[in-house]
């Protein structure tokens, strides 16, 4: 939204300055208000929320955020990415869900490539190829949980 428009709203600039000066975080209400102000400038909005599961729900933050997303105007299409969590699934249960999981071969290729491009890691693996295989096997096994 913002790059298309070219400038930030006065409200967003004010929030940024206030919270930067005070070294504080925005509240859900401030985020919601700022988002709604930006949304109001457009006929159609596509909103992507990545890694919702990484948002803490210790003080109902994630739950409140999801409720705010659900209350956005009808001109907003929202896509949320997240690991599967019962609490999130319950909240967005009426929404369309597409489960995506990386294949073992894709994860293996990715990790192998990363090892070869990370200089320090590459040097260790060149000295001990078994280390590289152990790293790859561990990451592939852990990726099954994601």
Q: Same domain for 73 and 131? A: no
| CA dist list (Å): 121 to 104, 107, 111, 133 | 21, 17, 11, 12
Is residue 72 domain-shared with residue 117, that is, in the same domain? no
Q: Indicate whether 124 and 57 sit together in one domain.
A: no
pLDDT more than 70, % of the chain: 95
Average pLDDT for 63-77: 90
Query: Does the pLDDT at position 1 exceed 70?
Result: no
The domain in which residue 50 lies consists of 2-91
Calculate mean pLDDT across residues 33-47: 90
Residue 56 domain flag: yes
The residue out of 91, 115, 135 marking a domain boundary is 91
**Residue 96 forms part of a structural domain:** no
65 and 86, same domain (yes or no) = yes
* pTM, to two decimals: 0.67
Q: Is residue 98 part of a domain?
A: no
| pLDDT digits 0-9 by tens, 89-122 | 888 877 888 888 889 999 999 999 999 999 999 9
Q: Does the pLDDT of residue 51 top 90, yes or no? A: yes
Structural domain contains residue 50: yes
Q: Would you state the torsion angle of the CA atoms of residues 69, 73, 77, 81, taken in this order, to the nearest 10 degrees?
A: 0
pLDDT at 17 over 80: yes
User: What's the number of domains the chain is made of?
Assistant: 2
The stretch 70-82 carries a mean pLDDT of: 91
* Same domain? 14 vs 81: yes
pLDDT at 38: 87
Is residue 69 domain-shared with residue 118, that is, in the same domain?
A: no
Q: What is the 3-state secondary structure (H, E, C) of 24-43?
A: CCCCHHHHHHHHHHHHCCCC
């Amino acid at each position: 939204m913002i790059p298309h428009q070219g400038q930030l709203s006065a409200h967003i600039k004010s929030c940024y300055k206030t919270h930067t000066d005070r070294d504080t975080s925005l509240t859900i209400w401030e985020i919601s208000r700022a988002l709604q102000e930006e949304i109001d400038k457009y006929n159609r909005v596509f909103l992507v929320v990545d890694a919702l599961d990484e948002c803490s729900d210790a003080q109902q933050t994630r739950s409140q955020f999801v409720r705010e997303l659900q209350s956005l105007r009808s001109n907003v299409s929202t896509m949320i990415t997240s690991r599967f969590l019962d609490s999130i699934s319950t909240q967005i249960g009426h929404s369309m869900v597409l489960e995506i999981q990386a294949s073992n071969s894709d994860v293996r290729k990715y990790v192998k490539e990363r090892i070869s491009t990370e200089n320090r890691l590459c040097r260790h693996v060149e000295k001990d190829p078994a280390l590289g295989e152990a790293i790859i096997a561990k990451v592939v096994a852990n990726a099954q949980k994601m």
